[in-house]
Amino acid sequence: MLKECINNVRKKAPLIHNITNYVTVNDLANALLACGASPIMADDRDEVEDIISICGGLNINIGTLNKDTITSMFLAGNKANQLRRKVLLDPVGAGASRLRTDIAVKLMREVKFNAIRGNISEIKTLAFGSGRTKGVDADLADVIREDSLDKAVSFIKTFANEAGCIVAVTGQIDLVSDGNQCYVIRNGRAEMSKVTGTGCQLSGIMTAFLVANPDNELEAAAAAVCTMGLAGEMGWSNMQPSDGNSTYKNRIIDAIYKMDGDILEKGARYELR
């Protein structure tokens, strides 16, 4: 049950190592605290192996790549594999530049990931080794809609099998698959796209859910996606006429903080295919 996944995060309070996007690092830290986990943000090559050794999981986000953090990502990822820690890849903007695409593909070759989370354009770029994306947003031609849902589910299942890990695609409709089954999730608000970093926050939260539910990765990843989408709905319901996207960001994090297993189980909207 999804409720057990979030309850386990709050019970176990996993420590999550994040090599992440400096645009959203503070919001990510607060989102992890809100869901019951603890964040560490460390990206210097001289300490990342030590840091991951005391953490339960590693969240690698390529949103603000530079030569130093690229080295750190491989060092931390390989060490995490040696220690059998959970590892997640967020290929932010893959397809927007050759560097991002090449590094994301190389990370997939050299690091064993438990999950990959991105928008559909980023995931297609990883699947095909090249692609296109609108900055860090999905290309409009790729957006998953009801009329393209069957095709998208088939694609995600195939890629999850090839990648050997959970694949989560977030957008208008969210898909989470282990290659055999696929959660089709319809939580969330369109207004969440006006808040920078909701995807980054989700990647950190998903890492925490994977760590806290080591034997149930598919449901844990789906529970994380439902948690974020439902928080978007709850946060929006508390918006006042004078509120804008900055307030909405805080209301989303507040909603994560207030969420428990019963709220998640009642509010999650999904089907299995």
Delineate the domains of the chain, giving CATH numbers in brackets.
2-272 (3.40.1190.20)
User: What residue ranges in 64-192 does DSSP mark as E strands?
Assistant: 86-90, 115-118, 166-169, 174-177, 182-185
pTM: 0.93
Q: Which pairing describes strands 57-61 and 38-41: parallel, antiparallel, or unpaired? A: unpaired
Which pLDDT tens digits describe the chain residue by residue (273 residues)? 899 999 999 999 999 999 999 999 999 999 999 999 999 999 999 999 999 999 999 999 999 999 999 999 999 999 999 999 999 999 999 988 999 999 999 999 999 999 999 999 999 999 987 545 544 444 444 677 778 888 999 999 999 999 999 999 999 899 999 999 999 999 999 999 999 999 999 999 999 999 999 999 999 999 999 999 999 999 999 999 999 999 999 999 999 999 999 999 999 999 999
Element (H, E) at 39: strand 38-41
DSSP per-residue codes, 161-185: HHHTSEEEE-SSSEEEE-SS-EEEE
CA distance 163 to 177: 11
Q: Give yes or no for a contact between 259 and 231, defined as CB atoms under 8 angstroms apart.
A: yes
